[in-house]
Copies of this chain bind each other. A is one copy, B any other.
Amino acid sequence: MQTARREPMSETREFAWQRLHEFCVEVFRRLEVPEADARLAADVLSAADRRGVDSHGVARLRTYVDLLSVGRINPRPTVRIVRETASTATVDGDNGLGLVVGPKANQIAMDKAQQVGTGWVAVCHTNHFGIGGYYVLKAIERDMIGWSMTNTTRAVAPFGGAERMLGTNPLAVGVPAGEEPPIVLDMSTCTVPYGKIEMAVRRGESIPLGWAIDEEGRPTTDPSAMIHGGALLPLGSDPEGSGHKGYGLAVAVDVLSAVLSGANWGPFAPPFALRQADPPRKVGKGIGHFFGAMRVDAFRDLDEFKSHVDDFVRTLRATRPASGFEAVLVPGDPEHRAERERAAHGVPLLPAVIDDLHEISRQTGVPLG
């Protein structure tokens, strides 16, 4: 349900996703990432581009390239299990790309689910892993319910707080359907992502109350007040909106991703950017992810389950719409629609993103094609 993250379509130019994918593969290879890993990383970025989550696709390639170029991310990590039981594993990502460590850890979760019904993997010593939706779609392909979470650099105030102490800490859950597209919930646990604040600044617009606070912790409609020392608000925003619930979800995601795995939790998660200062304390290794996979047929006959999911999805879609809405959607519908549109018409990129890709092309010698 990430319509909110889409950039406006004006001024954009379309690129076939395959072309962007191939470009990413070659760029990662040029930066010493082994070919199989480069393909994995490109797959994750590509999933975002194809599904309309523009903030998490090639628009982020610049940052991955920066961090690899200066040696802040290990291009050839040895991803290893440091502890395990039949249904669990703790994985050390050896400071690799989250785009590589994430898919490998998720694979471990799915393989364990194949054996004992469910698999759960906590990962430390890793980096930004792309969109959470990618991972749960992999589980769906195997007729499993998938889970993914990650903690991220601090940007969000705890409920009642005036400082950034938690990341946007996204959470994804994916459910296989039969004839309908799968249900894919992929959400950050704050009200809106940082990108929406930046966009308001660029456009000279104000933001609604409930999105952010200024540096004194006061509700603000000025997006630059958030950027200069303020913070994002958790889902639910304020006492009337039950902001303590979004805060609680963010804490749960942080515990599962980072405290359970041995990564840096809360305000100490390292930044995903070259020029951002390191946190004041180190309480673990890198950031953390958490993956889960549950075999549907461990609980219920698979066909029966899928036909009930189809029925549930159709029942929800048949809800009488509220005034101002055209229809009731199901989590994952906007991304599914984007995927069909972009398969036909290409991925629309903003001029600034295209400039970035040309710059990366010059820097690495990989033609944009």
Q: Are B86 and A260 in contact (CB under 8 A)?
A: no
A residues contacting the other copy or chain, number (CB 8 A): 89
Contact yes or no, B241 A329, CB < 8 A: no
Residue of B whose beta carbon sits closest to that of A256: B145
Q: Do A311 and B328 touch (CB < 8 A)? A: no
* Inter-chain contact B235/A321, CB cutoff 8 Å: no
Contact A331 B160 (CB under 8 A): no
* Residues of chain A at the chain B interface (Cβ within 8 Å): 1, 4, 83-88, 90, 115-118, 120, 122, 145, 157-163, 165, 173, 175, 183, 185, 187, 191-192, 208, 210-211, 213, 216-218, 235-237, 240-242, 244-249, 251-252, 254-256, 259-262, 265-267, 283-284, 294-296, 298-300, 304-305, 308-309, 311-312, 315-316, 319-323, 325, 327-331
Residue in chain B with minimal CB distance to A86: B116
Which residues from B are CB-within-8-Å of A185?
248-249, 251-252
Provided the pairs A1-B248, A283-B308 are in contact, do residues A260 and B299 lie with their beta carbons within 8 angstroms? yes
Is B1 in contact with A320, judged by CB distance below 8 angstroms?
A: no
Measured in the bound complex, the distance between the Cα atoms of B325 and A90 in whole Å is: 38
**Copies of this chain present:** 2
Bound form: Cα–Cα A217–B308 in Å: 27
A242 to B115, CA, bound (A): 38
Chain B residues near A4: list those with CB within 8 A: 242
Q: Are A319 and B118 in contact (CB under 8 A)?
A: no
Q: Tell me the complex Cα distance, A255–B296, Å.
A: 11
Give chain B nearest CB distance to A146 CB in angstroms: 11
Q: Do the beta carbons of A162 and B322 come within 8 Å of each other? A: yes
Chain B residue with the shortest CB-CB distance to A3: B244
Among B118, B216, B304, B323, the residue within 8 A (CB) of A323 is: B216
